[in-house]
Structure 1
C-alpha cells in the first residue's frame, strides 16, 4: 500500500489513529523484512502461530468500530506485532482487506511448504506484466583459412512475459474456535499457508493455461527433452536417468541448481529396484539424498508417471504479482462461521526450456 493510498484510507479515521497509521507507514509495516533477511522474529508471518493469531484478531476486531475495541481484540489473540498489525487495518461491515506482507515476503511465507521453492527456482516480483529477455541462440566459432571469409553470426534473443493470474482460497472457520484465545492459532495459520502453497505448486507444475490458470512447467518443456521410458528394469531405469541428465548438458545449459523432482510413488519404485540382489538407487537416495549425484525433492503435486530433472532450476521463474491479502466476511452467520478469503497473484515461466528434461512412465 502506497503512502497516497494510506492517506486516503485514514481520512475517515480519528486523528490519533490517523497519526499512528501515517507514522507506521513511514517506518514500514510491522514485520516487514529487509531485502537480504527473513521475517523478523515475532512478526505476523514469522510462524503459523503468529499468522493464525493475526487472522483471528482480524475477524474478532472486524466486528468492532472503535480503535480501543480493535486494540483490545488484538490483545486477546496476539503479541505486540500482531496488535500493531491490527491497528494498521481498516475494517467495515462489508469485509476487510488486510495486507499480510509485501510481494517479496510472500515467497518466504510459502517457502516451508512449496516444492518449487525448495528446488531453488528463481523468484521474481512484478506488477501486472513483466517482460524479461532470454538468449535463444549463440554466435558461431569457425576456423578460417588464408583469404577465406566467415559467414556472420550473432547471438539470438527472445523474451518471456509474466502476466498476473489471480488465485483465491475461501475457508469457513468456526466462530467457536475464533472466540477461544490461544486455541487453533497454528492450525489456522498453517492451513492458510499450506493451501496457498499447494495451489501455486499445482499450477506451477501442471497448469495448462486454460481459463484463468497459468501455464506450468510441464506445458512449457521442450518437446525433444520429454521422452517415454524404455522400461522398468534396472537397466532401463539407469539408461533413462542418464539420458535425462545428458539432454540439458548437451543442449549447452550451464549447471546451476541441478535437482530432480518426483512423486513419492516413483521414488519408492527407485528405492525398491534391485539388480542381482544389489540395490540400484536405494543406498544413494537414503544416505546422500541424491539420484545420480543430484538432490531430489518429492511432492504429490507432480504426476507419479514422471521423473523430471533440471540442470538449473533458476531457469524456471516463479513470479508473484500481488501481496497476499486476507479478508473476512460474515457470509456464514447462520452457521456461526466466518469466511476467510486469501488472494494471491502469480505466473510461471521457463526462461530456458532446454534446461529441463522429463521421463514419462505408463500408469
Structure 2
C-alpha cells in the first residue's frame, strides 16, 4: 500500500471513532471525562495525519511529474521479445486505452510493475502509461491505477452501468466519506396583516452520509488477446470494454438492490421509504386501464412530494418492457407506442438483468423503479486497484467453476470504492410484486 493510501486509511479510521463520539452528544447524551479526553486526542491525531498526508500527496505529485520510464535492467527487468510488444507512436485512440494498456503490460510482466514499465518503454507506449508504471506503488492488494486513468475508466462506465446512464451525479469521496445536507421540511410562507408579526418559520435539514464500500469485479481476459501488439485500438477497445462491462454489471447489482448490511452499499430498493413501495396488480385479469393507473400512481408519489421531475426515469427487467410493448388497446393499436423511442409515459427507461424476475412465493415476480436520478449521488474514491492471476478459478454466469490456467486466461481483479444514496428518499418509488410478463 502506498504511503498516501496508508495515511488516508488511518485518518478514515480515526474519523469514524470521532464521529461515533460526536453522535452521542448529537442524540442528546453527554461525554464522560474519558470520552472527552479521547475526543481531544482523536482531533490532534487527525490534524497530524492531515498534515502528513498533504506532504505525502505533494511528494507523490512531484514524483509523477518528474518521472521517466525505468531504464533497461532496472530491478532485474529483462528485455521483452521484439514481436508482439511494439506499440507504435503510443497514442491513445479509444477511451480507457491507457488503463487497457496498463493491464496488458502488467499481465505480460506477471504483475511486476518495474518489468511492465520496462516493456512499456521498449514497446514505445505512451508517456503517460510509462510514467504511471514507473511511479505507482505496488502493494499486497495489487497495483494502484493513477487517478487520471481510473477517472477515464469510471467515466466509461456511464454507458454500461444502467444506474449511471440514467443520470445519477458522481461526486468524489473525501477520505472515504461524504456528507450531503438535504432539506427535510420547507419554509412555510403566507400572507399576514399590516400589524401582525411575521411568524418564525424555517427549513429543517438532514444529512445523507456516503462512505466508501469496496467492490471487486473479476475480468477474465484471453491470453491470446494479451499477447497482441501494444497500442492497437481494436485490442485496447476489447480490453477496456471487458473491464467496463464487468464493473458496470457489478455496480448495477449493488446500486439497485444491495440491502446495505455489512460491507454492502444500500441500493435504491432499500433507500425507498415504506410508503413508496407499491405492490402491482396481478397480471391475471388485469386490464389496460388498471395498468395505466398503476404506472401513473407511481409517478404521482414523486409529484405529490414536490420532487423536481427533471431527470426522472424507469428501471426494469427487459421482460417487463417487452410485455408492456406487446399490449394493445381495443382497436389493436399499441398501448405504449413511445416505447420504440425509449420512453414510457413520457420518461426514459433503463433495462437491467440485475433486477431479478424470480421474486415472490411463486418465483415469478419482479420490480419496477421510478426515480428522480438527479437526486441520486454516487460517491467515488477515484483510485482503482488491479491485480492478476493466471491460476485462479472463478464462477461463470451459469455458476460453473472455471480454471483460468486451463482456459489460457488471465483473471484481472479490479477493486473500486464507492457508495450511493439519494439526497431525498422521497425521490425513489418501487413497484413490487410485479408478475407482469411471467411466462413470456
Residues 95 and 328, structure 1, Cα contact 8 Å, conserved in 2: no
Count residues with an aligned counterpart: 333
2: CA distance between counterparts of 1:91 and 1:142? 62
2:265 corresponding residue in structure 1: 214
1: CA distance between counterparts of 2:239 and 2:116? 25
Partner of 1:5, secondary structure, is helix
Answering whether residue 370 of structure 2 is matched by residue 309 of structure 1, we say: yes
1:120 corresponding residue in structure 2: 167
Q: Deviations over 1:190-217 (max 9, x none)?
A: 2111111111111111110122111011
How far apart are residue 293 of structure 1 and its match? Answer: 1.4
2: CA distance between counterparts of 1:275 and 1:130? 49
2:379 corresponding residue in structure 1: 319
How far apart are residue 118 of structure 1 and its match? Answer: 1.2
Q: From the superposition, tell whether residues 269 and 211 of structure 1 become closer, same or farther in structure 2 (CA, over 3 Å).
A: same
Residue 351 of structure 2, aligned match among 298, 301, 307: 298
2:189 corresponding residue in structure 1: 141
2:16 corresponding residue in structure 1: none
1:99 corresponding residue in structure 2: 145
Asked which structure has the greater CA Rg, the reply is 2
Structure 1 portions without partners, runs of 5+? 19-40
When normalised by structure 2's length, the TM-score is 0.65
Q: From the superposition, tell whether residues 91 and 155 of structure 1 become closer, same or farther in structure 2 (CA, over 3 Å).
A: closer
Partner of 2:181, secondary structure, is strand
Partner of 1:140, secondary structure, is coil
2: CA distance between counterparts of 1:319 and 1:299? 22
How far apart are residue 241 of structure 1 and its match? Answer: 1.2
How far apart are residue 71 of structure 1 and its match? Answer: 3.1
2: CA distance between counterparts of 1:176 and 1:199? 26
Residues 45 and 109, structure 1, Cα contact 8 Å, conserved in 2: no
1:352 corresponding residue in structure 2: 424
Residues 64 and 132, structure 2, Cα contact 8 Å, conserved in 1: no
Residues 141 and 385, structure 2, Cα contact 8 Å, conserved in 1: no
Residues 69 and 121, structure 2, Cα contact 8 Å, conserved in 1: no
2:226 corresponding residue in structure 1: 178
Q: From the superposition, tell whether residues 210 and 42 of structure 1 become closer, same or farther in structure 2 (CA, over 3 Å).
A: farther
Q: Deviations over 1:234-287 (max 9, x none)?
A: 11110011111111111111221122222111101110112213335431211x
Q: Deviations over 1:311-351 (max 9, x none)?
A: x3110111112412223356559766544221100101111
Residues 254 and 265, structure 2, Cα contact 8 Å, conserved in 1: yes
Written as runs of structure 1 = structure 2, the 5 A alignment for 1:183-194 is 185-194=236-245
